[in-house]
A and B are shown apart, each in its own frame.
Chain A
Amino acid sequence: MNSLKVKSFDLRKNVIDMIIEGKGGHIGGDMSVIDILISLYLKNMNVSPANKDDENRDRFVMSKGHSVEAYYAVLAEAGFFDIRDVIAQFSKFGSKFIGHPNNKLPGIEMNSGSLGHGLPVCVGMALAGKMDKKDYRVYTVMGDGELAEGSVWEGAMAAGHYKLDNLCAVVDRNRLQISGCTEDIMCHDDLGARFASFGWHVITIDGHNYDELDAAFAEAKATKGQPTVIIANTIKGFGSPVMENKANWHHKVPTADEYEQIMKDFAQRKEAALNE
C-alpha cells in the first residue's frame, strides 16, 4: 500500500468540492497533475510551512497555473492553510483563493496563470542558487499544451546552456488541451528528444505511479551537469471514468449525478489502493 496514493483520492474529492463551491475550475488537469504535486510537496521537496521563508528551501513554480485547485488541495494538506477555508472561499467575491496561484498566499512563490512563464522563472531561481552556492532545488510543473509557448524553449535553452542540475521540470503529459488532443493541435513528437537536444536529462514515467515519481525525483537529484525533465504520462480526469480522457472536462462543474458517480469511483480506487 502507498499511503500517498490512498490520500490522493481524498485530495481529489477536495478539488471537486472546491470546484462545485466555486462554480468552476480546471478539473481535468487537476486530476492529471495532483499525484505529481502530492509526491513533491508531501515527500520529495524540502519545503513546508516551517521552512517557507528559509533561503535554503526548495522552490516550486506552478507553471500550469490553471490547475490551481489541485495545488490548493496539496498545499492545504501540507499545512499551508486550512482546506475548509479553500473550499468555502474558492473563487468567491473578494477571496484570496483565486483561480490561479497568487503569492500573497503562504507557500506560493510566484503568481502564474500566463503559460510559458514557470520554466524561465525557475531558470532564474536555479541560477541564483548556483551563484550563492546553495543546495536548494528548483521545480516546476508544466502542461503539455503549454509546451507550444515559445518562452518554454527559451527557458529550456538557457537551462541547458547554464547546466542547471539543480532544476527539475515536470511535464504533465495528459495529451489533452481545451480544444482536443495535443497531438492534433500542435504535436509534440519525440518530446524527450526535443528536451535532450537542448541538453536536458530526460526521464519518462507513469505520472500516477508514486514509486516511479520517487525514483524519477531521486534520479533528477543525482543527475549532475544538466537539468532534468520528467515527462509524466498522465490521464486527464484521472480518478473516475466520468472524466477520464475527455477534453470537455478541461473546465467543468460536475452535475449532481456525475458528482455521485465520481465519488463512488474515488472510493473504489481508494479501496483498491488500500489493498495494494
Chain B
Amino acid sequence: MNKIPNRQAICDVLIEQANTDKDIVVLCSDSRGSASFAPYVAAHPDQYVEVGIAEQNLVSIAAGLAKCGKKSFVASPACFLSTRSYEQAKVDVAYSNTNVILIGISGGISYGALGMSHHSAQDIAAMASVPNMRVYIPSDRHQTKCLIEALLKDEKPAYIRVGRNPVEDIYEEGNVPFEMDKATVIAEGTDVAIIACGEMVKPAADAAELLKAKGISATVLDMYCIKPLDTEAIIKAANNAKAVITVEEHSPFGGLGSMVSQVVGRECPKKVINLALPDEPVITGTSQEVFDYYGLNAEGIAKTAMELV
C-alpha cells in the first residue's frame, strides 16, 4: 500500500520545479503542516508566504502576487478554502483572471471525526459554478504529479481537491496515461459505465473487477477533470452502456453526478444513478468507515450496478 498522500506529491513537484522556476510562490494559512508543505518551506523559504489563519487574506494576497508575475499555489484545508475565501476565489482569482492554483487539502470528509465544519462536501458545486474557475480532483499520487506539472504550463486559475490519506496507486510511476482535461479510461465494458473522481476511483476500479466475476462488464472513467468536464468521454461511455453510475465524495447536489447527468440527459438519455454523500452531516468516523457506511466502496458500487443491469 502506498504511504504517500496526494498532498505530499504536490509538495514534491513544487520543491523540484521551484529550483528552476523562481516565480513559483506557495502560500499557506498556518497550514504548512496539514498540507505536507513543511519540506517545501525548508527548501524554498524565499518562495513561500505565510499568511496566518486568514483564508480571505490568503487568496487575495495570492492574487496580488500573481498579478505581479508570480505563480501562486495556495495550500489550505479544502473546507476553509472553498467557503471562507469563496468570494476572494470568485473575484480576485477567477474574475480578475489571476494565475492562482487553489489547493484544497484534506478535502471531502478526510477530517471525518472532526465534524461538518471540517468537511468540504460542497466544493465542486461551489467552485465549478464560478466562471473561469477550473476544478480538478485527482485520484492517485502519480496522476496528481502529472496534473500539477500540466497546470504549471498555463496561467489560468484552478481549484484542486486532494484528500488527507494516502490513496492506493492506480497508475504506475513513469507510465501514467494522463492527458490534460481528458478522463482516463481505466476499464472498458458494455453493461454499465462507472464515472468517478478522487478517492472514489480506486473503489470504482475494484467494483469493475467484482462485476467481471459476475459476468457484468463495466467501463470505468477517472474523471479527475470536473471542469472542464470531458463530455466526449462521458458520451462515449454512456452510449456503450445500459446505465451510468457516478461516484463522488461530495454532496448529492451540484457535483460530478449532477454534471454527468446533465450531459447524459442531453446527449444520450439513459438511467444515471448518483452515488454520493447524503444531504446531512455525515456519520462520525474515519474516511473508510464513512465510505463503507454509505456504500461508497467497491461492494456498494457493484451492488448498484447489479441492480441496474
Count B interface residues, CB 8 Å: 28
Q: Chain B contacts of A107 at CB under 8 A?
A: none
Please determine whether A121 and B60 come into contact, CB atoms closer than 8 angstroms. Answer: yes
Q: Chain B contacts of A116 at CB under 8 A?
A: 56
Please determine whether B62 and A124 come into contact, CB atoms closer than 8 angstroms. Answer: yes
Please report the C-alpha to C-alpha distance between residue A129 and residue B51 in the assembled complex, in whole angstroms: 17
Chain A nearest CB: distance from B29 CB in Å?
Answer: 10
Please report the C-alpha to C-alpha distance between residue A2 and residue B65 in the assembled complex, in whole angstroms: 37
Q: Say yes or no for B39: interface residue by CB 8 A criterion.
A: no
Q: Say yes or no for B286: interface residue by CB 8 A criterion.
A: no
Please determine whether A124 and B61 come into contact, CB atoms closer than 8 angstroms. Answer: yes
Q: Chain A contacts of B56 at CB under 8 A?
A: 116, 120, 150-151, 154
Q: Chain A contacts of B88 at CB under 8 A?
A: 117, 120, 151
Kindly list the 9 A-B residue pairs having the minimum CB-CB distance in the complex, ordered from nearest: A124-B64, A120-B60, A128-B68, A154-B57, A124-B61, A121-B64, A125-B64, A154-B54, A124-B65
Please determine whether A157 and B64 come into contact, CB atoms closer than 8 angstroms. Answer: no
Instruction: Bits for B39-65, please: 1 = Cβ < 8 Å to A, else 0.
Output: 000000011010110101100111111
Chain B nearest CB: distance from A61 CB in Å?
Answer: 8
Q: When A and B form their complex, what is the total count of cross-chain residue pairs whose Cβ atoms lie within 8 Å?
A: 95
A105-158 residues at the B interface, CB under 8 angstroms: 109-114, 116-117, 120-129, 131-132, 150-151, 154-155, 157-158
Q: Say yes or no for A51: interface residue by CB 8 A criterion.
A: no
**Could you tell me the dominant secondary structure of chain B's interface residues?**
helix
Please determine whether B91 and A112 come into contact, CB atoms closer than 8 angstroms. Answer: yes
**Contact A122-B52, Cβ < 8 Å, known A55-B69, A111-B96, A112-B91:** no
Instruction: Bits for A33-60, please: 1 = Cβ < 8 Å to B, else 0.
Output: 0000000000000000000000100010
**Contact A158-B67, Cβ < 8 Å, known A111-B91, A112-B91, A117-B60:** no
Q: Say yes or no for A103: interface residue by CB 8 A criterion.
A: yes
> Which of A114, A120, A151 is close to B64, meaning CB atoms less than 8 Å apart?
A120
Please report the C-alpha to C-alpha distance between residue A161 and residue B52 in the assembled complex, in whole angstroms: 11
Please report the C-alpha to C-alpha distance between residue A6 and residue B206 in the assembled complex, in whole angstroms: 76
Chain B nearest CB: distance from A112 CB in Å?
Answer: 7
> Which of A111, A150, A151, A158 is close to B95, meaning CB atoms less than 8 Å apart?
A111
Chain A nearest CB: distance from B258 CB in Å?
Answer: 27
**Contact A110-B65, Cβ < 8 Å, known A120-B56, A151-B57, A158-B52:** no
Please determine whether A121 and B49 come into contact, CB atoms closer than 8 angstroms. Answer: no
A145-178 residues at the B interface, CB under 8 angstroms: 150-151, 154-155, 157-158, 161
Please determine whether B92 and A121 come into contact, CB atoms closer than 8 angstroms. Answer: yes
Chain A nearest CB: distance from B45 CB in Å?
Answer: 11
Please determine whether A59 and B63 come into contact, CB atoms closer than 8 angstroms. Answer: no
Q: Say yes or no for B155: interface residue by CB 8 A criterion.
A: no
Q: Say yes or no for B66: interface residue by CB 8 A criterion.
A: yes
**Contact A157-B96, Cβ < 8 Å, known A121-B61, A151-B60:** no
Residue with the highest number of chain A CB atoms closer than 10 Å, among B47, B49, B64, B65: B64
List, sorted by A's number, 9 A–B pairs whose CB atoms are closer than 8 Å. Answer: A110-B63, A111-B91, A121-B64, A124-B66, A127-B64, A128-B64, A132-B69, A157-B54, A158-B51
Instruction: Bits for B63-81, please: 1 = Cβ < 8 Å to A, else 0.
Output: 1111111101000000000
Query: B70 — nearest CB in chain A belongs to which residue?
Result: A128
Q: Chain B contacts of A103 at CB under 8 A?
A: 96-97
Please report the C-alpha to C-alpha distance between residue A183 and residue B64 in the assembled complex, in whole angstroms: 31
Please report the C-alpha to C-alpha distance between residue A127 and residue B57 in the assembled complex, in whole angstroms: 13
**Contact A158-B65, Cβ < 8 Å, known A112-B91, A117-B91, A117-B92:** no
Chain A nearest CB: distance from B58 CB in Å?
Answer: 9
Please determine whether B97 and A155 come into contact, CB atoms closer than 8 angstroms. Answer: no
Q: Chain B contacts of A150 at CB under 8 A?
A: 56
Query: B55 — nearest CB in chain A belongs to which residue?
Result: A154
Q: Say yes or no for B230: interface residue by CB 8 A criterion.
A: no
Please determine whether A110 and B67 come into contact, CB atoms closer than 8 angstroms. Answer: yes
Please determine whether A127 and B60 come into contact, CB atoms closer than 8 angstroms. Answer: no
